[in-house]
A and B are shown apart, each in its own frame.
Chain A
Amino acid sequence: MLKIIKQSLLFLLLLWGLVPGSNAFDEAAEQWHLTEERARGGEVYLNAWGGNEAVNQYLQWAAGELRRRFDIRLTHVRVAGTGDVVSRVLAEKAAGRDAGGSVDLIWINGENFMAMQQQNLLLPPWTMDLPNYQYVDEVGKPSVVIDFSTPVNHQEMPWGMAQLVFYHDSARVPEPPHSMYELLRYANDNPGRVSYPAPPDFHGTTFLKQILMELSGDTDFLYLPAIQSDIDERLAVLWDFLDQLHAVAWQRGNRFPADGPRMKQMLSDGELHIAFSFNPAEAVNGVVSGELPASVRSYVHHHGTLGNTHFLAIPYNANAIDAAKVVSNFLLSAEAQAKKADPSIWGDPTVLALDVLPEEQRALFEEALSHPAMPTPSASQQVLLEPDASWVRVLEYEWQRRYAR
């Protein structure tokens, strides 16, 4: 009798194993649950640019939440530039430290990502395992899968969207120029009040790309690798424009602001009339924090402006890989993304597809307040994709060869 019961129980157990209830979805959830368990008590060192107070404050909030919910300690290592971090991971590789590295997460995109990927400094594809990745807007925001023409290959997690946005003090400049030609005309009328950061600062290089995008009739060539024999002909229109602009620019084009933040100071003092940033909420942050006058407004050019995505990546030798994944998943959650998108916090646009999100999560995004210094919502539709990464070096080199020697 006992034997029969035992056997039938075993049979039932076997059957249980065959039921389609344990499908791939549950398995993934189980895997993720295990990841979260392993991540408990972990310490994650997120190496990210520390110059922006809005970002610093946001990450401090995230650190508090992660501690409370997942028992993970998130430390924001505030660095002056991503290059510092790439150097560090490289030094670790050079010294043969293939595990237990000092960087768990790195804020990255574009050229730095490409370099780390090429040098095998990144963890093999991992972002598809994050439960929240399913809501990422791969269709509407192509730059979340192609980072400056480099396929992301799930080796970095889309964190936020960036777009080149211009801003001006409406008290000084009531009607800002909405294209590069209008900008040149404005500079002609107001000599000495327009400039841009000197490349290789990335704001400066972006400005050059934007000019090239607007002035070249056909922009297809920009999405292919730069060909040496082609460069002079393709870029002639850019140098011609810059020669005209420099003649009426700040310091007659003999000097340039050091970077985007320096432009912000100069706009605040009235030394420059137009500044730009990759953070659409830069002007709002500035107004809210008192850095900029309350009359500052943002806008984009009529033909659209360059946009891209910024990501979080895990180096190949990270010390707390599981915890870093849990942190990434949290930062990708609707809650964290909505908070980030709030212009009074940071104002960084989300990478999620709002229409796919469950109703109650979508509602979180609608709570975010709008602000008069924010660019109009329609502006964010006019996004131009970043050219092929090889153009960055070409533009930097050729610009320096002409204007910085």
Chain B
Amino acid sequence: MAKALRTVSQVTRSTDTAPIEGPLRTALQFFPGLTATLFILPVLLGLLGTWLPAFGYLPSIGADSFSLQPWRNLLDNPGIGKALGISLLSSWGAMLLSLLISCVLLAGCWQSQLLRWLQRSLPLLLAVPHAAFAIGVVALLAPGGWLLRLLSPWATGLAAPPFFSLMNDPNGFGLLLVLTLKELPFVLFMSFIALGQLQVERTLYVCRSLGYADTSSWWRVLMPQLLPRLRLPLYAVLAYGLSVVDIALIAGPNTPPAFAVMLDRMFNHPDITTRLTGSAAATFLLLLTVGSLLLWFFVERLYLYWMSRRASKGHRRDNRFVRSLQVGAGQVTAVTLLIITAGAFVLLLLWSVSFRWSFPDALPDSYSLRFWQRGWQQLSLPIWYTLATGIASALIGLLLVVACLEHEVTRRRCSARNTGPRLFWLIYIPLITPQIAFLFGVQTVLLQVNAWGNLWSLVWIHLVFVIPYLFLSLSGPYRNFDDRYLQQAEILCGSEWRALWRVKWPMLLRPLLAVTALGFAVSVSQYLATLYIGAGRLPSVTTETVAIATGGDRRLIAVFALFQWLLPLIMYSLALLIPWYIFRHRKAMQLS
């Protein structure tokens, strides 16, 4: 461990060769190392705590000799092959589909009113907690769901739910669909950030002058530049799809379930020795994830190589039909996404105030507010814990990420060659590591140092997941900020601090607040981390929602899911309203 730390600090130091002046700048150079160490440490420790049991070593249950038995037990699990198939299909499928749809949308609808509108509502879509979204979508599309209730019996002739079902199918297509819908806003959001670094308009202008239609310039020129910039977000999507438990439970199959669910069951199996098998499974999931990421890396390279070969060979044929199909498909998916999300939200609202709602009625038979009352009764305390953890981790995360980015920008100013962060990919490890693979280990370590079940430990663990998302989404706007503003400000007021406070950060207020809200949303949606580290002392809205969801009362589940949805929604609204109020007299700072 100590060795790893030393390597980490060495790597950080070796990248900071450029001379940096000023007390603020000097202080800043410690931040990347600090951030990386603080937040990689638990992951590494946690992984160790999982790898040892995977090879039969867990002294507390009397397993104190190394063996391969856990791996043999894992392979002996009935249905493991199919479970892996389901996980791979749904994660790869969701990643590829959300990427494809994003590209089609960008290529087909760039500059359209629809896309601009979608771009504005993206933060709201991103705020939707995974579990709440999945619950809403399943309630909408299941055989007894709202869609069929709206259509029955007048259009379908059904008096009872049909035998056909989009959700929970044995092959995991329903899971794929929900994951795609959930990941699409994220991929799109990241695409917009990445496009900020490309010169889209100028590229299109040049291509137009060479006689290319915009859609084909998108595919030929812009996508090959966009794809490498999306690598990290896509890794996150892929890794998330492989390790997600809650969505897989709600929308996935159970004959057998997805691999992550199987793994989760092993960790909760009454037979305690099954945890050894679970550790082996977690390790295997990590390998599978790394393998998938590598594969995607090569697929992306191969695709880019193929594209450039095609372009340089002079292949320029363009299919007018495919082009118009793209525009149509893009529009349809964008509208579908918005309708499904809005539909899920309205449906949850309806269920939350219904008392009895029988099939196939389009609306509840009778209404009641008692479930909101009960929800409030049970959630009044968890809401405070959730707010405290979320706000603390979002603000601390913001501070660290801004400090790191500021340092990076400074370095860029000192030496033009030193632009990208070298060590910083470490910060993304939590994003691509299955949570369950290291949380058990983290829990043990925290227990040993007596730092368990308190709010600060929880904030720390949440930061592990919040920081990478903050970094992913803030780095674009921050790197693209025109340094000349800051230089002018420094010249005029003579203080770095004042220049940052009075000019740069106010100008970046909108993205700063948006990522703070995102950080809050990431913290709110943490289930396993809160469960393991909170020790039952710090219930959150999410842990309560998952607990109540196991009871199957749709009205209560709707109330809990809405609470889970409303908290980030409030933060995002604030992130939109505050700049609107502050900049109400500054025309250039208003949204076009």
Contact = CB atoms under 8 A, between A and B. Distances in A.
Most A Cβ at <10 Å: residue of B267, B269, B359: B269
Interface stretch (A216-224, A287-295, A339-347): A287-295
Nearest to A51: B551
Interface stretch (A24-32, A73-81, A365-373): A73-81
A229 interface: no
A91 B443 contact: yes
B272 A90 contact: yes
B255 A198 contact: yes
B161 A271 contact: yes
Contacts of B168: 255, 258
B343 interface: no
Contacts of A51: 547-552
A86 B531 contact: no
Interface stretch (A111-119, A130-138, A206-214, A237-245): A111-119
B544 A50 contact: yes
Contact of B270 (A97, A114, A260): A114
B532 to A, nearest CB: 8
Interface in B516-572: 531-532, 535-537, 539, 543-544, 546-556
A91 B550 contact: no
A114 B270 CA distance: 8
Given A49-B547, A84-B531, A401-B78, A255 B272 contact: no
Contact of A265 (B61, B144, B366): B144
Interface string B63-87: 0000000000000011101100000
A111 B255 CA distance: 22
A68 interface: no
B399 interface: no
A6 interface: no
Most A Cβ at <10 Å: residue of B61, B159, B267, B552: B552
Nearest to A201: B254
Interface in B344-359: 354-356, 358-359
Interface in A232-277: 250-251, 254-256, 258-262, 264-266, 268-271
Contacts of B554: 265, 291
B60 interface: yes
A164 B35 CA distance: 54
A88 B78 contact: no
A403 interface: yes
B256 interface: yes
A61 B565 CA distance: 29
A201 B144 CA distance: 22
A401 B537 CA distance: 39
Q: Give the interface size bracket for B toward A.
A: 35 or more
A255 B547 CA distance: 24
Q: Give the interface size bracket for A toward B.
A: 35 or more
B58 interface: yes
Contacts of A95: 444-445, 447-448
B535 to A, nearest CB: 4
A103 B448 CA distance: 17
B579 interface: no
B249 interface: yes
Contacts of A201: 254
B19 interface: no
A404 B537 contact: no
A79 B440 contact: no
B61 A290 contact: no
A119 B551 contact: no
Contacts of A264: 552
Contacts of A259: 550, 552
Given A111-B270, A270-B159, A270-B359, A251 B256 contact: no
B197 interface: no
B443 to A, nearest CB: 5
Given A265-B554, A293-B356, A87 B82 contact: no
Contacts of B79: 400-401, 404-405
Contacts of A80: 543, 546-547, 549-550
A198 B254 contact: yes
B536 A88 contact: yes
Contacts of A94: 58-61, 444, 447
Interface string B481-503: 00000000000000000000000
Contacts of B59: 94
Interface in A377-405: 393, 397, 400-401, 403-405
B415 interface: no
Contacts of A250: 163
Contacts of B33: none
Contacts of B358: 268-270, 293
Given A51-B547, A53-B553, 19 more contacts: A52-B551, A80-B543, A83-B269, A84-B531, A86-B270, A87-B275, A88-B443, A112-B270, A115-B270, A251-B165, A254-B170, A260-B552, A261-B550, A261-B551, A265-B144, A290-B354, A393-B271, A405-B79, A405-B256
